[in-house]
Amino acid sequence: MLDGSTPDNSVVEIVLLVLSVIIMPVLAAAQRRVGTRLGDPVMLADAAETKMCVLLSISTLLGLVLFAITGQGWRDPVAGFVIAAFAINQGPDAWEGEFVDADDDDDDD
């Protein structure tokens, strides 16, 4: 960003991100449905993580598309900062195991 370099631009990246934005919400909904039916907090946590991945894919896609349209290389690092801010915001919840019960250890003693 500071040295004026620009990101590589790839149609394949954009296509994969578009597919991710289409497929991942469906996958997250299916994971949530199964997790709810089974009462499985790990599956529910995975569904929440998949949903977060959709938001990250959208941010990355916007950065790539805006760069492809405008050629302004500074937009890609801005998208990276959005992703970093999102990770910082969601990280503590994941670290604390908000979606997983503490008694889910495999201790069958």
Q: How many helices (H) and strands (E) does the chain have?
A: 3, 0
pLDDT in tens, 45-85: 888 888 888 888 888 888 888 887 887 777 777 777 877 88
Instruction: Check whether 108 has a pLDDT greater than 80.
Output: no
Domain containing residue 59: 11-95
> Is residue 101 one of the residues assigned to a domain?
no
Among 14-23, 48-57, 75-84, 95-104, name the one with the lowest average pLDDT.
95-104
The count of structural domains within the chain is: 1
Instruction: Check whether 103 has a pLDDT greater than 60.
Output: no
> Is residue 74 one of the residues assigned to a domain?
yes
Structure-token pair, residue 70: 């405008």
- What whole-number distance in Å separates Cα of residue 7 and Cα of residue 61? 13
> Is residue 2 one of the residues assigned to a domain?
no
The confidence score (pLDDT) of residue 86 equals: 76
